[in-house]
Amino acid sequence: MSDPEASRPFIEAANPEHPSLLDPLHQLDSLFGVVNIPNVIWIDEEGMIVRPPEPGWPPGDGYPDWLRGFVDERAAAAEKKAAEIEATDPEMAAKIRGGQDHASYADAIRDWADKGADSEFALRPDEVIATSQDRPVDKSEGAAHFELANRLWSTDRDAAIVHFNAAHRLDPENWTYKRQAWSLVGNEKAGGGEMGRFNQGPLPGEEDEWPFEGTFTSEAGRTPAGDYYPKTL
């Protein structure tokens, strides 16, 4: 998943004018507090962070046709569930419906491009620090386990799995730790190929062989949008 060849097709298809880099050691997690993808960080001309990592998307609907249906289904299911919960737990209903607004993120970037430090979206240094991801020492320990897991993946699979599970337990809010682990195993189980990495759980009938405590469906699938992609704008 960290190999250049996993990302190359997407980068070459987009043919961007900006640099595209690889982060196989998940340095962005440790250095900035990235916990999911996509996460976006704003840095000004002087090298000051003005927005710490948060969910963010390009303008318009970037979903390819084959994913569009799944996205629409999930949105409809979430709305239905929120409507059912509304009467008894409006806070939870808001979380299920809520989360970061996709459509307005690019407008916020444009506002900052125009106005710089005067943009309402550019945070002061103390605000940047205060709104960055919380990190008790448990999460530092989780990060250390995650690094060992990735390092040992190709040489000691059993040890890597132990470290991945420790990382997930110590930092349950870090979705990149989970998605990386689920994809590494799921990709192999599915036989690789273009779609293998999207397999983030056991194949039917193979549930007993799945080495992790959760899967994408069991965890992210039931997490309210407000917790999975928290609203920050």
Partner 1 sequence: MSTGFVARLRIGSERWDALSVITETLDISPEAFEAGTGWQIKPEGACKGEVCVPLPDGWSAAYAADRLGMAVVHDDSGLTAFGPESLNGRALVTAQAPKVVLPDLDGNDFDLASLRGKKVVLVAWAPY
* Core vs surface per residue 115-148: b (16+ CB within 10 A) or e: eeeebebbbeeeebeeebbeeeeebeebbebbbb
Q: What distance in Å separates the CA atoms of residue 201 and residue 204, rounded to the nearest whole number?
A: 9
Establish if 168 lies at the interface with partner 1 (CB under 8 A): no
* Tokens encoding 26: 């998940």
Q: Give the shortest CB-13-to-partner 1 separation in angstroms.
A: 12
Residue of the chain from 81, 151, 157, 189 that contacts partner 1 (CB under 8 A):
151
**Does the footprint of partner 1 cover residue 165 (CB under 8 A)?**
no
Q: Least CB distance from residue 185 to partner 1, whole Å?
A: 12
Contact 122, 42 (CB under 8 A): yes
Does 10 engage in binding with partner 1 (CB under 8 A)? yes
- The yes or no reply on residue 174 touching partner 1 (CB under 8 A) is no
Q: Does 185 bind partner 1 (CB under 8 A)?
A: no
**Residue 100 within binding range of partner 1, rule CB under 8 A:** no
Question: In this chain, which of 17, 65, 118, 134 binds partner 1, going by CB under 8 A?
Answer: 134
String of DSSP letters for 154-219: TT-HHHHHHHHHHHHHH-TT-HHHHHHHHHHHHHHHTT-TTTGGG--SPPTT-GGG--SS--TTTT
CB of 25 or CB of 77, closer to partner 1: 25
Minimum separation from the CB atom of position 106 to partner 1 (A): 10
Residues 47-66 touching partner 1, rule: CB under 8 A, are 47-50, 52-53, 56
Its sign, for the CA torsion 14, 18, 22, 23, is negative
Segment interacting with partner 1 (CB under 8 A) among 73-81, 96-104, 121-129, 219-227: 121-129
Q: Which long-range contacts (CB under 8 A, 24 or more apart) does 71-80 make?
A: 78/224, 78/225
147 near partner 1, rule: CB under 8 A: yes
- Rounded to the nearest whole angstrom, what is the least distance from the CB of residue 143 to partner 1 in the complex? 4
Distance CA 101, CA 105 (A): 7
Return the residue matching tokens 């190999």.
Answer: 3
Closest approach, Cβ 69 to partner 1, in A, equals: 18
Kindly tell me which residue out of 98, 133, 190, 231 binds partner 1, with binding defined by CB under 8 A: 133
